[in-house]
């Protein structure tokens, strides 16, 4: 790679830490940042460095936050008797956008995956049980993803909740709104059948 300025080569390498960025995108990004958008690049340096310094996990729900308690946990108008358990901060975003939920969250920051060494401790279940013991939560809503690992995680947590005598629910699975029946996969359809409701 003598053709390239070594520093530009190092920049390409550094950009590969971004998810989904291979050698070619990294090259395109490096040239773009240095040639077309130095202002944007400088802003990225500044904001990323500030975020690395200030953003930690919320001490209550484990989402990413620059304050010890995140905006939702510190909002006194949220219903503290409802706790929704999600895998990532992005899931909080998605649920907040429905404007249908006014409780609190707990972020696993992952899912149970014993083969990768991710057990109950790694997804914060000790913090969760401690929290449930000290706070008066009426209902826990499991909103992990409907994947194999997400389902296993939901089952594991529901066992914990049953032991603690707390009501536990799971988001409904079924045909997505606007979806067409013929294009729905059979696993979703079978969930929709089994979960059918009186009308």
Contacts with a second copy by CB under 8 A lie at: 2-8, 10-11, 13-15, 17-20, 25, 27-35, 37-38, 40-52, 54-55, 63-67, 70-72, 75, 88-90, 92-93, 96, 109
Q: Cβ 110 to a second copy, closest distance in Å?
A: 9
CB of 107 to a second copy, least distance (A): 10
In angstroms, rounded to a whole number, what is the distance separating the alpha carbons of residues 62 and 88?
9
Please report how close the Cβ of residue 191 comes to a second copy at its closest, in angstroms: 25
In the complex, what is the shortest distance from the CB of residue 182 to a second copy, in angstroms, rounded to a whole number? 27
Q: Which residues contact 61 (CB under 8 A, 6 or more apart)?
A: 70, 72, 73, 104, 105, 106, 107
Cβ nearer to a second copy, comparing 60 with 63: 63
Q: Check: CB of residue 83 under 8 Å from CB of residue 140.
A: yes
Phi, then psi, of 86 in degrees rounded to 5? -125, 165
Closest CB to a second copy among 2 and 186?
Answer: 2
Task: Please give the order of strands across the beta sheet that includes 139-142.
Answer: 103-107, 79-86, 139-142, 167-170
- CB nearer a second copy, residue 105 or residue 161: 105
């Amino acid at each position: 790679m003598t053709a390239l300025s070594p520093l530009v080569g190092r920049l390409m390498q550094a950009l590969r830490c971004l998810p989904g960025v291979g050698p070619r995108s990294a090259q395109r990004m490096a040239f773009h940042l240095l040639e077309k958008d130095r202002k944007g690049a400088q802003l990225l340096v500044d904001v990323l460095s500030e975020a690395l310094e200030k953003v930690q996990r919320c001490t209550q729900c484990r989402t990413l936050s620059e304050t010890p308690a995140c905006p939702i946990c510190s909002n006194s108008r949220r219903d503290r008797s409802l706790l929704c358990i999600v895998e990532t901060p992005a899931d909080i975003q998605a649920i907040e956008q429905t404007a249908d939920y006014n409780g609190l969250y707990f972020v696993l920051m992952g899912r149970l995956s014993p083969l990768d060494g991710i057990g109950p401790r790694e997804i914060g279940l000790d913090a969760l049980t401690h929290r449930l013991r000290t706070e008066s939560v009426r209902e826990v809503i499991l909103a992990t993803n409907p994947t194999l690992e997400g389902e296993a995680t939901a089952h594991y947590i529901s066992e914990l909740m049953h032991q603690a005598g707390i009501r536990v629910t799971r988001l409904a699975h079924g045909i997505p709104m606007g979806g067409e029946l013929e294009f729905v996969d059979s696993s979703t359809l079978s969930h929709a059948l089994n979960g059918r409701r009186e009308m």
